[in-house]
Amino acid sequence: MSFEIVASSFQHKDIEQEQFRRTLKCGAIGGGTVVALCVFGLINQFMERWIIENTLSLAHATFIGITLTVGALICIRSPKLSSAARIFQGFLVGVVSGAFLSILILIMATFDVRHMFVSLSPKLLAFLSYGFDPYTACLVTILAGGVLAMAGALIRESPTWLRKPLIVGLATAFFIGLFAELLQLAMQYESVEPIRDYMFTWEGQTLTGFITMFVLGFAISLFWVTRGKAVMMNHRAKSSGSQRSIRYFLYAIAVVLLLLFPMAAGSFFGQVLMLVGLYVLMGMGLNLEVGLAGLLDLGFVAFFATGAYAIALLTADNEHLILLLDRPLTWWEALPLAMFASLLMGLAFGIPVLKVRGDYLAVATMGLGEIIRVVVLSDMASPLLGGSQGLLHIPRPWIGNFELSDPIHLFYLTLISSMIAAYFAWALENSRLGRAWMAIREDEDVGQALGINLVNVKLLAYALGAWFAGLAGAIFAAMLGSIFPHSFQLLISINILALIIVGGIGSLPGVVVGALMLIGTPELLREFGEYRFLAYGFVLIVMMRVRPLGLWPSAVRKREMQSAEEAEALLRAQSGQKA
C-alpha cells in the first residue's frame, strides 16, 4: 500500500513539474517575443502609430495581443487541468512574461546599452515605464502581464459562442485601426464622408470607431456561431439546382466586388492588387511545374524576364528595334510573340535539366535563372538588351483610342489575364497531360513504365509554366515603362515558390490566397519599412509549423493528411487495446 502512495506522489510531483516547465516555457515565449520586438526597434516605430487615436498605440496593442495569446496558449497546452486552474496558470504565464520585460526595463534603467542596441533608447524606457520609477514600473508590468494573460486564458476558457465573437470583434477593430490610413484613402467620396469622419481622424481610428467595429465584428460572428449551422442546414436542404444558383450568385457578387473595389479604392490599392495579380499569374505557372509535375524550379524569374524583355524589344521605339523590325509593334501585337518567346525559353531551360531530380533540380534551375540575369547584364548582350541601363520607353497598351495608363486599368488587364490563365491551368490540371504530370510527380520511373513520355511531359511543364510567366512579364513591362536586369532577382523566384507553398502546393485557389498573403500584405505594411520582412519571415515559419499543407490545400494533399491521421488514430486505438 505504501508503495502505491509513494508511486502516486511521484507521479503527482512529475505532473506538477511538467506543468511548471510548461508555464515557464509559455511565459518565456511571450516575454522573449516582447523583448525581441523592443531590441529590434519595432516597438519604437509602433509607439507612434495609433490603433485608437490618443488612447491605444500599436505598441500597446502588440503587447496586449502577445500577452493574451500566451495566456490562451497555456490553456491549450494544459488539457489535464481544471478550468479554474488553467486560468490561474494564465496569470502565472503573464507574470513570467512581465518579468522578462521588467528585466529589460531594469537593464535599460541601470546601464547604457545604446551603443550595442540602438533601439533601446530613453524614449523606449519612458514608454515602457509609463512615467513611474523603474522599480514601480517593473511591478506594474508584471501585474499587468498577469492580468492580461489571465484575460487571455478567460477568453480561451469561455464558451464558443462568446469566445469566437470576442476574438473576431477584437481582430476586426484592430485591423481597421491598423489600416486606418489606407482605408481613409479609399474613402475619398462625399457620400461616405460622414462614415469616414465618424470612424477616423487623420491620426487614426477614433474610439467610437473602434467600439463600432468591435460591436460589428462581434455581432456578425455571434450570428454565425449561433445561427450559422441552421443557415448551412437550410442551404443543404435545398435542391442541388437552387444550391448551384446560390453558389453562382455568390461567385457573381465576389467578381463584381473584385471589379469595383480598385476603382472605388483608388490607385494605390489598384497598384497593390495588380502586383498581386502578376504574382498570381506567375504562381499559377510555377504551380504547373512544382505543384502538378513535381519539378522544383528556382529559376522561374528567367521566364518572367524573357516576357518583359521581349515586349520591350518589340514595342519600345529605340535603336535595338531597328535590328528586328521596321516599326515598333503595339503591345497587343507583341504579346503573343513575347509569350511564345517565354515558352521557347522554358523549353531551352528544361532540356539541360531533364535528367536532374529533386533537390539537385532546384540548385540546377537556380543556376540557370542566374545565368539569364548575368547574360542580360553583360557587355556582350548590352547592345541588344541595354545591359544595366535597361530598356526604356515601353509604351502602354491601347484599346482603340484609350490608353491603359493608370495602375487600375492595368489591374483590370491583369485580372482578366489571370482569369483566362486560371481557366487554362484548371483545364490542364484535369487533362491527360495533367494526369501524366501527377504520375511523374508521384513516381517518375513508374510513370515511364506506364507509358508516359518523360521528355515531352517535363518539357511541356516547363514550357507552359514559362508561358504564364511570359504573360506576367509582358504586363510588368507595360506597367513600369522601362525594365532593368535588377528587377529580375533570384528573390522573385523564391517569393513565387514561397507563395505557392503557403497557399497550398498544387492548389489553384491556394495560389491566389498565397499571393494575397505574401505579396499583398507586405505592400500594405510599407510604412514599417524593412521590418515588414521580419513579419514575412515570421509568418513563413509559423505557417509551416501550424499549417504545413498551406492555407488552401489541394485535394490530394488534404487526403494524404487525413489518411495519415487515420493511421495514427488506428495505431493509438491498437496500443490502447494492448494497455
In angstroms, what is the minimal distance from the CB of 306 to other proteins? 30
Q: Taking a C-beta distance cutoff of 8 angstroms, is the pair 86, 145 a contact?
A: no
Task: Judge whether 376 and 309 are in contact, CB under 8 Å.
Answer: yes
Distance set, CA 105 to CA 63, 112, 123, 433 (Å): 15, 12, 12, 62
Q: Which stretch binds other proteins (CB under 8 A): 8-16, 107-115, 434-442, 478-486?
A: 434-442
Residues 8-67 that bind other proteins (CB under 8 A): none
Per the DSSP assignment, residues forming a β-bridge with 483 are 391
Query: In angstroms, rounded to a whole number, what is the distance separating the alpha carbons of residues 199 and 213?
Result: 9
Which of 140, 185, 381, 438 forms a contact with other proteins (CB under 8 A)? 438
Chain-centroid distance, C-alpha 381: 37
- Which one, of 283, 308, 326, lies nearest residue 471 by Cα? 308
Q: Quote the CA–CA distance of 325 and 318 in Å, as a whole number.
A: 11
Choose one: 232-240, 284-292, 429-437, 531-539; the region binding other proteins (CB under 8 A): 429-437
Using the 8-state DSSP alphabet, how is residue 379 labeled? T
Cβ proximity to other proteins, 216 vs 556, nearer residue:
556
Q: Taking the complex as a whole, how short is the minimal distance between the CB of residue 560 and other proteins, in angstroms? A: 5
For other proteins, the closer of residues 330 and 453 by Cβ is 453
- Tell which positions 219-248 bind other proteins, by CB under 8 A: none
CB of 489 to other proteins, least distance (A): 34
Measuring CA to CA, how many Å separate 460 from each of 278, 357, 415, 454? 22, 16, 25, 10
Interaction between residue 203 and other proteins (CB under 8 A): no
Interface with other proteins by CB under 8 A: which range of 87-95, 243-251, 333-341, 431-439? 431-439
Question: Least separation, in Å, of the C-beta of 285 and other proteins?
Answer: 23
Cα 533 to Cα 320: distance, rounded to the nearest angstrom: 38
C-beta atoms surrounding 452 within 10 Å: 20
Using CB under 8 A, pick the residue from 34, 68, 155, 439 that binds other proteins.
439
Q: Which stretch binds other proteins (CB under 8 A): 56-64, 270-278, 362-370, 442-450?
A: 442-450
| C-beta of residue 551 within 8 angstroms of C-beta of residue 507 | no
172-181 in b/e form (b: 16+ CB < 10 A) is bbbebbbebe
Q: Counting contacts by CB under 8 A, is residue 565 touching other proteins?
A: no
Among 93, 280, 282, 436, binds other proteins (CB under 8 A): 436
Of 11, 83, 382, 563, the residue at the interface with other proteins (CB under 8 A) is: 563
Binding test (CB under 8 A) with other proteins, winner from 72, 452, 513, 515: 452
Q: Helices marked H in 78-206 — which ranges?
A: 83-110, 122-129, 134-157, 160-178, 180-186, 193-199
Q: Please, what is the minimum distance in Å from the beta carbon of residue 548 to other proteins?
A: 15
Q: CA 398, 399, 403, 405 torsion: positive or negative? A: negative
- Of the pair 174, 552, the CB lying nearest other proteins is at 552
**Burial label, 215 (beta-carbon count in 10 A; 0-12, 13-18, 19+):** middle
Compute the least distance from the CB of residue 506 to other proteins, in Å. 11
Give yes or no for a contact between 502 and 518, defined as CB atoms under 8 angstroms apart: yes
- Residues 6 or more apart from 473 whose CB is under 8 A from it? 303, 304, 305, 306, 307, 308, 309, 310, 311, 338, 342
Residue 448 binds to other proteins (criterion: CB under 8 A): yes
Minimal distance in Å, beta carbon 571 to other proteins?
Answer: 12
Calculate the CA 512 to chain-centre distance. Answer: 10
Size of the site for other proteins (CB under 8 A): 23
By CB under 8 A, what part of segment 337-356 binds other proteins?
A: none
Q: Could you give the CA distance from residue 117 to residue 108 in angstroms, rounded to a whole number?
A: 10
Find all residues with CB under 8 Å of 559, minimum gap 6, and list them. Answer: none
- The answer to whether residue 559 forms part of the interface with other proteins (CB under 8 A) is yes
Closest distance between other proteins and the C-beta of residue 441, in Å? 9
Q: How far is the CB of 557 from other proteins (least distance, A)?
A: 8
In the complex with other proteins, which residue's Cβ is closer, 275 or 500?
A: 500
CB of 552: closest distance to other proteins in angstroms?
Answer: 18
Of 320 and 435, the one with the shorter C-beta distance to other proteins is: 435
Q: In terms of CB distance, is 449 or 542 closer to other proteins? A: 449
Q: Is 571 in the site for other proteins (CB under 8 A)?
A: no
Phi-psi region of 428 (alpha: psi -120 to 50; beta: other; left: phi over 0): alpha
Choice between 366 and 436, CB closer to other proteins: 436
Choose, by CB under 8 A, the member of 85, 139, 446, 571 that binds other proteins: 446
The region of 38-46, 116-124, 166-174, 448-456 touching other proteins under the rule CB under 8 A is 448-456
What's the grid cell of residue 565?
A: 491521421
Q: How far is the CB of 358 from other proteins (least distance, A)?
A: 16
Binding positions for other proteins, rule: CB under 8 A: 432, 435-436, 438-439, 442-443, 445-454, 556, 559-560, 563, 566-567
